[in-house]
Homo-oligomer: A and B are copies of this chain.
């Protein structure tokens, strides 16, 4: 089939299969979807957008772009300890995205919605003279009143982060072809971490049971820690020496000319999609044990204090961080 598909062919062939089994979606044949009330539960809703050349690279395969879009939204649900339910998708297609690219995009959606237990409920398909632009509105459920918020951290709380930090930063460099990562194998692994974040949904129960506050790291550990501090009206002290690193990131850091600047780059680079959470000191053993059961590493990186803002520590001293994270303009 040549030329771009029209909206209706695309919905019928590309998207309707993604709504199969979802009575909410009416086979994508209606103006709207319907979400029936679920007494005892709250609906948790988040919406994130991505733009070609800004949030992903021009040559990134469309199936990975679709999966990243689903995953950055799932990461928000993970941070709120919500269970995935469904999503709405709006895509503005440039003219050079024909059937093969769109089918790859739909394949990526299908793969990850099966993996994470989501269905497509609706959305919009439009044309654009600009770059591929997509937004996804994700819906999840939590028991009523149990969403873990950004507000809620208290002075004295211990601050944890899941997984490893800085792989997103190095992965973007690797994906762009930078040679700062010498090992091909490590460069590939890092680029994968950039292109395909792992939403930490399995941490949900542990967060619900033990966390006072949580959010996911998208703009950079320090920038996002500052958002948690602001919403909770506490200060945070984050120790860069305790920041968990992957083997490739540690190897890169070991070769850095300026190790402190390199460590700060990892802590401010963003695109990690790990979870930062605040936990009462006495709950530390319990959340560590719950995270272990969920097979997700959780590392203590700091404490909450009275005050405001983020103090960044390294080598036992406070360090200056000029740009705490990625800034969208």
Contacts and interface: CB of A to CB of B under 8 A. Distances in A.
Interface string A38-54: 11111111111111011
Given A129-B54, A129-B130, A329-B7, A135 B49 contact: yes
A254 interface: no
Interface stretch (A147-155, A185-193, A297-305, A313-321): A147-155
B32 A77 contact: yes
Given A32-B46, A47-B90, A128 B54 contact: yes
B38 A37 contact: yes
Given A38-B37, A149-B26, A127 B328 contact: yes
Copies in the complex: 2
A327 to B, nearest CB: 5
Contacts of A38: 37
Contact of A45 (B33, B89, B127, B147): B33
A46 B51 CA distance: 22
A130 B6 contact: no
Contacts of A149: 26, 30
Contact of A123 (B32, B47, B51, B329): B47
A91 B38 CA distance: 30
Contacts of A328: 6-7, 125-127
A185 B77 CA distance: 51
For the complex of A and B, 8 pairs with smallest distance between CB atoms: A130-B130, A49-B90, A32-B46, A90-B135, A7-B328, A35-B43, A47-B88, A31-B76
17 contacts: A7-B327, A31-B80, A31-B215, A32-B147, A35-B42, A35-B43, A45-B88, A45-B137, A47-B90, A47-B122, A51-B126, A53-B129, A90-B90, A124-B135, A129-B131, A130-B130, A130-B133
Given A7-B328, A43-B43, A50-B126, 12 more contacts: A5-B329, A32-B77, A33-B45, A34-B142, A37-B43, A39-B39, A47-B123, A49-B90, A55-B126, A88-B137, A130-B130, A133-B133
